[in-house]
Amino acid sequence: DAKTTQPNSMESNEEEPVHLPCNHSTISGTDYIHWYRQLPSQGPEYVIHGLTSNVNNRMASLAIAEDRKSSTLILHRATLRDAAVYYCILTPRGSGGSNYKLTFGKGTLLTVNP
């Protein structure tokens, strides 16, 4: 399985943008890039996903490098409710048993200062 590398922790101030990086140098051409976040004592929450092009939704933006070996999750204005662990996960396209598993690493712990 292709792996991702994220910083252990990052800090931001409220109402400022946050850029959370993820390296995935061994990504295959058919892997999607998914981002999830998990607040303390809660289940993970889907944030956004993409394949090649940059993506925007109501929660965040996803910027994908041209060679797809890295991506950045962008929170445009951090709030205290955005404090969570953020996970960058590669998910293969196609069928097969292993494609049903989300492999969560340690993720990035985002602290938002008031």
Partner 1 sequence: DGGITQSPKYLFRKEGQNVTLSCEQNLNHDAMYWYRQDPGQGLRLIYYSQIVNDFQKGDIAEGYSVSREKKESFPLTVTSAQKNPTAFYLCASSTRQGRGTQYFGPGTRLTVL
> Applying CB under 8 A, which residues contact partner 1?
32, 34, 41-46, 49, 87, 89, 91, 97, 99-107
Residue 100: φ, ψ to 5°: -90, -5
Q: Considering beta carbons, is residue 69 or 106 the nearer one to partner 1?
A: 106
Q: Considering beta carbons, is residue 47 or 112 the nearer one to partner 1?
A: 47
- Quote the least distance from Cβ 34 to partner 1, whole Å: 5
- Quote the least distance from Cβ 80 to partner 1, whole Å: 20
Cβ-contact 75, 63 below 8 angstroms: no
Q: Considering beta carbons, is residue 70 or 107 the nearer one to partner 1?
A: 107
CB under 8 Å to 12, separation ≥6 — which residues? 18, 75, 78, 110, 111, 112, 113
d(CA 23, CA 72): 9
